[in-house]
Structure 1
Amino acid sequence: METLLLNERETPKGQLVSVCDADVLGEEFENDEVSLTVDPEFYDGDPADEGTVVQSLANCTVANLVGTSAVALAVEHGFIEEENVLDLGGTRHAQLLWL
């Protein structure tokens, strides 16, 4: 599995988590409708293993995920449904919001 970067922040509305594949950090992706910059100020974080990412997703309020491995992990563990994943010209992106 690709190296994953995990960033956790406390906000007034709960914990915000960003997870990305290390190799997409700083990259830009787009399809016909959406563009995404994997901004290091938002997505750069500590290297994390699968268990740490799963625990963080289980405890967050909101999560942003970018990269094939990061999104696949969220889908595999039931946090994201496959039909809600965006394909962006070479990578994948999903958002999670617990209501």
Structure 2
Amino acid sequence: MTTPSPLVMRERHTDRGLLVAACDRDVLGETYDNGGTEFTVTESFYDGEAADADAVRAALARATIGNVVGDTAVGIAIDAGHVEAANVLELEGTVHAQFMQF
């Protein structure tokens, strides 16, 4: 029996470039609220292919727009230099970050 990947990722080509949405599998479908912001990690936006860290890292490197949720996914974006830790939004037990590359 194989263990499912801890990450899921979806790539979309948009009129603004490649959008990569990646999240930790365990946050998919969850809603988070920090008192002023409510955020749902929707399957329709994030759920796509199971991915490992290398696949997410490679996709984020190609992305024009990146949207990542969860400790592992955000950690990959930080380690790859796409997101600064100081700019990560903390939401009731998870983290979220977005970036745009020109």
Q: Distance in 2 between matches of 1:34 and 1:83?
A: 18
1:16 and 2:19 equivalent?
Answer: yes
Q: Does 1:42 align with 2:57?
A: no
User: Could you tell me the TM-score, scaled by structure 2's length?
Assistant: 0.91
Counterpart for residue 29 of structure 2: 26
Q: 2: distance between equivalents of 1:47 and 1:8?
A: 12
Instruction: Compare CA radii of gyration and give the structure with the larger one.
Output: 2
Flag structure 1 segments of 5+ consecutive residues without an equivalent.
Answer: none
Letter of the structure 1 residue corresponding to residue 101 of structure 2: W
2:92 corresponds in structure 1 to 89
- Could you tell me which of 74, 83, 99 is aligned with 1:80? 83
Deviating 4+ runs (over 4 angstroms): none
Counterparts of 2:64 and 2:79, CA distance in 1: 19
Secondary structure (helix, strand or coil) at the match of 1:33 reads coil
Q: Percent identity?
A: 45
TM-score (norm 1): 0.94
Aligned residues: 98
Deviation, structure 1 residue 50:
1.2
How far 1:33 sits from its partner (Å)? Answer: 2.3
Q: Secondary structure at the match of 2:82?
A: coil
CA-atom RMSD in angstroms: 1.1
Q: Which residue of 1 aligns with 2:55?
A: 52
